[in-house]
Amino acid sequence: MTDLEFQPKIIGFLCNWCSYRAADLAGSTRTRYAPNVRYVRVMCSGRVDPAFVMKALSLGADGVLVAGCHPGECHYLEQNYKTMRRMTMLQHTLRQLGVEEGRVRLVWASAAEGHRLAKAIDEMVDRIRSLGPLRWPAGWQERPEVLAAIERVASEHASAAQEVAT
């Protein structure tokens, strides 16, 4: 029950020409779906650099959604195929870094597919909720005894220096 209190923070990069409109449509048709995605509108899914995704995770996002036009329908010809290859490459790398399957997703949704996008978001939120928070930056923290050690070294040196001086 208390698990439901975890609200995943998801960053969504949405293509201006299709998925962003799909989100608009979902809104104007009052489709009910999870409110966990913060949207960033990009001109094309091909604009999404793997660095954007990793930066989002490193800043505390629990997941990242990238959404674009269906294959063959990108307004910049082939860019969404590149996105697909890039995301495959990124997911391959993230797996080795211990990021679970499902935290980073690529979805195709046309401007008419508000429902499809809403459903994908619901699924993604469910999945991430069951995985739990990612809390990436917390993984950089050293253990308390390590933090204490550095202060001890510093104070030992300081008192030794004082002894020499007096």
Are 27 and 55 in contact by the 8 Å Cβ rule? The answer is: no
Least gap, CB of 67 to ligand FES (angstroms): 8
Q: How far apart are CA 30 and CA 41, in angstroms?
A: 20
The answer to whether 8 contacts ligand FES (rule: CB under 6 A) is no
Which spans in 29-143 are helix H?
A: 50-58, 79-96, 114-131
Q: How far apart are CA 136 and CA 145, in angstroms?
A: 21
The answer to whether 36 contacts ligand FES (rule: CB under 6 A) is no
Least gap, CB of 152 to other proteins (angstroms): 7
**Closest to 8 in 3D by CA, of 105, 91, 98:** 105
- For binding to other proteins (CB under 8 A), which residues are involved? 1-3, 5-6, 49-51, 54-55, 57-58, 71, 78, 81-82, 84-86, 88-90, 92-93, 96-99, 132-136, 138-146, 149-150, 152-154, 157, 160-161, 164-165
The residue ranges that bind ligand FES (CB under 6 A) are 15, 17-18, 44-46, 68-69, 74-76, 79-80
